Homo-oligomer: A and B are copies of this chain.
Amino acid sequence: MKIGELAARTGCPVETIRYYEREGLLPEPARSSANYRLYAEPHAERLRFIRHCRTLDMTLEEIRTLLDYHDRPRQPCNAVNGLIDDHLAHVEARIEQLQALREALATLRSRCNGETDSSHCGILQELAQPTPRELTAETGEPSHVPGPHRG
């Protein structure tokens, strides 16, 4: 099958498939006489594996590691457990951060008393204050889970 069909079957954009190939996550497929990429079922399976991991917000680096275990199955799988555990910890840490954020935003939101003139807006006044310590504090290891702004 050509790249468009693979894309349709897996729900992964064509450009992203080529990107994964450049990144070495997908092997280079065969080519037709017109230099079109020609994929078979194993490619589709591997791509589904990658996309499944991506919906779990794993980095490409983490996925590379998992694919490595997948490709060389004689290794012990403890490291797979460890990778998942670490990732789970990252996600949980990020949830806690975002919950604190939600609290802070809700408090902020309650500052506005309905003045029509933004020079008296409590939200803007609050934001002009230095950031409270509990939001500034380093939370140990970096979380590696993105925040609220994604396409």
Contacts and interface: CB of A to CB of B under 8 A. Distances in A.
Nearest to A75: B118
A98 B95 contact: yes
Contact of A70 (B80, B124, B130): B124
Interface residues of A, number: 68
Main secondary structure of the interface of A (DSSP, over half): helix
A108 B95 contact: no
B70 A128 contact: yes
21 contacts: A48-B130, A49-B127, A52-B130, A55-B135, A56-B104, A56-B108, A57-B98, A76-B118, A77-B116, A77-B124, A80-B112, A81-B109, A84-B108, A84-B109, A84-B112, A88-B106, A91-B101, A98-B98, A144-B148, A145-B147, A145-B149
Nearest to A62: B149
A80 B118 contact: yes
Interface in A45-74: 45, 48-49, 51-53, 55-57, 59, 66, 69-70, 72-74
Contact of A74 (B70, B119, B128): B119
